[in-house]
Every structure is written in structure tokens, then in C-alpha cells.
Structure 1
């Protein structure tokens, strides 16, 4: 199931592409991905590419100095960020920052808040990878990209801010239905089109489109996704739960329906995970 037709109809794709403006894939992303796939790459080469874009350099330093990464130290340069985070992690992080800057530009507060949320969920996902000693391929990239369709829908549909409030109260399987009813499409479909337009890996595109399918977290089910990708999706979903419950009293409406399979895929029991989530909440609000 690697073709567009297998996952989304050509008619729906063409209709959406007429109504949504998806910018071309930035050259800086091409340069970074080439370096990432080069076994002889060094951090100086990656640093030069990032430093050539002032906005990206500033965004990387802001992200690197978050509570989950910087801890008690201040990261003051791109090269220092690369040394601390690692070349591969920096490329994944920059991919999300490029997406943020190229898709939204001068955006209203709702979109800025969305990106802040996306960055935090990606950082929580990375921390959960460290906790479980699992690092699925491109886990951070998926965490950053999986909800990118929301940004485009916020720009395209004036009332989508209200829709976001509705889907925050919905179970996972209801989210696409609510968006489809109100706007004629849903953000996982839009995000899939963005990823395809940017020539992102096929598995990443498919994962974005299938993110609300509960079968993703059941390894006995047949899906057009490999096990590593499905683990990345489970880690991101668990990180989303941590983010949603960060404020006391807030709940994650869909968590109870999928938590057993999600945690089973991650390799943590409920007590272990809740203890870790409490630790994350304390670290993020300290």
C-alpha cells in the first residue's frame, strides 16, 4: 500500500491541493537530510548549514534551551546544541523547525501556540525514548510532523480554532469525523499531503495518515507500517497524553480506550508510565 490511491483517493487529494497552499520543500531540508545520510558527516558540516539560516539558528537555540534538554545549563551556540543533542537529533529537530517557519510564517497566536505544543510533545517523546531505551527510526520527526495538518487548517479555516477545542474533548476515533463534518477534511489527511509534497519517507507519510487508527497499536493487526514506525507512533501518543494532562484537572479523552495497547507497545506497565508522567509534569512545571 505505497501509492496515493491505496491510502487516499485521487479525487480527494486533488480537491485538497486546490484549496490548500502547501509551500515547496525547502532546500535547507534537502541539505540536512543529505548530510544525515552521509556516514562521514561531522557536526561542523551540519552547523554550517543551520547557521546559514538565521531564523533556524535562533529557533534551534530556543528549542535546545527548553527544560527537558538544557536542564541547568544554557546552550549558547548551534555547535554546542549539536554536541549535546547529537547530529541525528538535531536534523530531526530542524526538520520540524523548517516545517514551522515555512508553513506558517507570520501567523496568528493560535498557530504559534500549536507549534509550541508540537515542539514540547516532540521533546517529551525523546525523553520517553530514553526512558524505555527504545529509539524508533525518526521518532522525533514523526512527533514533530504528525499534526502539521492542523497548522494549515488553522490558516485555511477561520473557525478551526473552535474545532481544536472540540477535538481536545474527543476520543481519537472521533477526531477525524468531527473535522470532516465541519470542514470537509481532517488534519491527518492534510498532514499526509504535506509530507508527500515534501517527499518525506513513505512510512512517515503513512503514519501521519493512519495516526487515529487504533489498530496501529495492535501488532497482531495488519497495517502498511513496520514495527519501528508503530512504536514511534505509540511513543508520540503517550507523550501527547503527558502534554494533555500537564495542567491539573485536564484529561485526555481518548487515552483510556488505547492506553493498554500503547503502553504494551512501548514496554511499560501503567504504574511505571504514570510515575514517569508525574516526573515529567514536575520537570516541565518546575
Structure 2
């Protein structure tokens, strides 16, 4: 399916199908303003600074990031949003702001999703890192888009946890079963899955169609290398698959079933091999530590 077909699928399911009962929190007004600011070819940094400064907690998050060891502060600590933006740069500023806004819009408080947004932030940083290492990909995968993709990749789980009774038990079952894919258990129990619901969030929040399509298909690795899905969407899926593996390796977790079964397709699409992947561990580690 291409992005247009996925949009039609989501709209149809939203109006009359399995997504009808799913409650999507409204998109934060500040995120809407941020998207509008980024729609211009040259984003107005003063507008972005005003959006950040309008929320005390978000300003504090930016300052804490700018003064963290990740950015090796030299001299006096940053004390204003403008100073923080200058130190960490536009892309990191946008990543911090978006993560703050999304995590506050969709609250997660369930033991089966422990540290959900912290891990989402790590996944997003890993996705951006992967994209930054591969600037010559024909799909033109930008680190900023890859970061947003990683941040939202599993947002459907958080929404399902809020909307669907018994979903916590489904997470336990899906994680334990080895006879079928994770999303197959979700669909068997609830007639939908986190990939579809995540695409719905992207649709309702008016996020880029490539994000909606990538999230909808992020467990469908058969699309890699095909012609039915846009190259940029395939790039997001491949980068997200690699990023998930890198994050799990950073956490000392074993490779999951998806990586064992489909790593060759993702690596081939990104034009890298296992040796190149191993080289990324050391430079990526402090980035993920900071998350």
C-alpha cells in the first residue's frame, strides 16, 4: 500500500471499522504551531523560541538538555531558551520540544509500558543517528523525519492502553508467544493493532503522510525493496528496524524475533552490513545514555 491507500484505509476504519471506538487525544496546540513553523522552507527561529518559552516545563527541559554532558557545556550554563537553542542546534531543539509535547499529550501509566516515553526518545535518537550516517540514500531520509518516526513508532500501544480494556494482558501474551507475530496477537484479541492505531494518530494529528505510512507498515518488512511503497517510507521502516535493534543492544537485551527474521532485508535496503552496524555502537552509546 502507498501513503494514499493507507490514508483511505485509516479513514474507512475510523468511520465504520475497528478504529471507531479508539479515542485519540487532541494534538497539542503548541505542536500544531510547531508544525506550521516548520512548513516554511526557512523556519523562523524566533517563532520556535516563542513556542518553547511559552511553556515553563518545556523551557526547563530544553535548558536541562543544553546543560547536560551530551552537549559538553563550556563556560557558564545556559539560562535562557535562546541560549539553549544556540548550544544544541535546531534539530535537537525540535526533537526535545516534540518529545515533551507528545509525552504530555498521551500519558502512559501502566506497568506493561514502563518507561514508554523514555524508550521512545531513545528509539527516536537512534533513528536520527542511523539517518545521519546514510546521507546518500536515494530516499533522502532526513534525520529530523527519522527522529519523529522513532518517537511515534509505538504510540499506538499507548493509545490502545488508554482505550481498550484488557490491552495490558495482550501485551504480556504477545511478548511471550513465539508461534505468531506480535501484531497477530493484538488483532486476534482486539481486531486492530498498534501499527494501525499509530497511523491513525498520525492522520488525526495531520502529521506527514510518510510518517503515517511508515508507522502503519513498520512490521511489514516484505515491502522493503518492492515498488508498491514509496522509497522514503521504506527508508523509515528499514532505519526504524535497525534503530530498534541498536537500542535493544544498548540495553543489553537479546535480538528480537523481527530482527532475527528480517535484518537482512533492512540492512540490504540501507546498503550496510553487520560490520558497519557494529561500528555504530561506540558513537551511539553516549547519545542513548543521555536519553
The change in CA–CA distance for 1:129 and 1:249 in structure 2 (over 3 A counts) is closer
Contact persistence 1:93–1:141 (CA under 8 A): no
Q: How big is the shift at 1:28?
A: 1.1
Tell me how far apart the structure 1 counterparts of residues 189 and 169 of structure 2 sit (CA, whole Å): 10
**Structure 1 unaligned regions, length at least 5:** none
Tell me how far apart the structure 1 counterparts of residues 99 and 253 of structure 2 sit (CA, whole Å): 30
**Secondary structure of the equivalent of 1:149?**
helix
Residue of structure 1 aligned with 2:127, choices 116, 125, 128: 125
Structure 1 residue 102 corresponds to structure 2 residue 102: no
The corresponding residue for 1:213 is 220
The change in CA–CA distance for 1:217 and 1:12 in structure 2 (over 3 A counts) is same
The change in CA–CA distance for 1:154 and 1:75 in structure 2 (over 3 A counts) is farther
Residue of structure 2 aligned with 1:229, choices 228, 233, 241: 233
The change in CA–CA distance for 1:9 and 1:194 in structure 2 (over 3 A counts) is closer
The worse-fitting range, judged by mean Cα deviation, of 1-10 and 188-197 is 1-10
The change in CA–CA distance for 1:46 and 1:8 in structure 2 (over 3 A counts) is closer
Q: Please give the TM-score of this superposition, normalised by the length of structure 2.
A: 0.81
Mapping 1:180-195, distance limit 5 Å: 180-195=187-202
The worse-fitting range, judged by mean Cα deviation, of 95-104 and 52-61 is 52-61
> What's the CA shift string for 1:211-250, capped at 9, x where partnerless?
11112322xx12332x233222222211111112223353
The worse-fitting range, judged by mean Cα deviation, of 207-216 and 272-281 is 272-281
Q: How big is the shift at 1:149?
A: 0.5
The corresponding residue for 2:275 is 271
Q: How big is the shift at 1:170?
A: 6.5
The corresponding residue for 2:48 is 46
- How many pairs does the alignment contain? 280
The change in CA–CA distance for 1:115 and 1:229 in structure 2 (over 3 A counts) is same
> What's the CA shift string for 1:90-125, capped at 9, x where partnerless?
334433432221122x73455461111100111122
The worse-fitting range, judged by mean Cα deviation, of 240-249 and 111-120 is 240-249
Contact persistence 1:50–1:78 (CA under 8 A): yes
**Structure 2 unaligned regions, length at least 5:** none
Contact persistence 1:188–1:211 (CA under 8 A): yes
The worse-fitting range, judged by mean Cα deviation, of 247-256 and 117-126 is 247-256
Residue of structure 2 aligned with 1:90, choices 90, 93, 101: 93
Q: Which has the bigger relative contact order, CA under 8 A and spacing at least 6? A: 2
Q: How big is the shift at 1:268?
A: 1.9
Contact persistence 1:234–1:265 (CA under 8 A): yes
CA RMSD of aligned residues (A): 3.1
Q: How big is the shift at 1:176?
A: 1.4
Structure 1 residue 139 corresponds to structure 2 residue 120: no
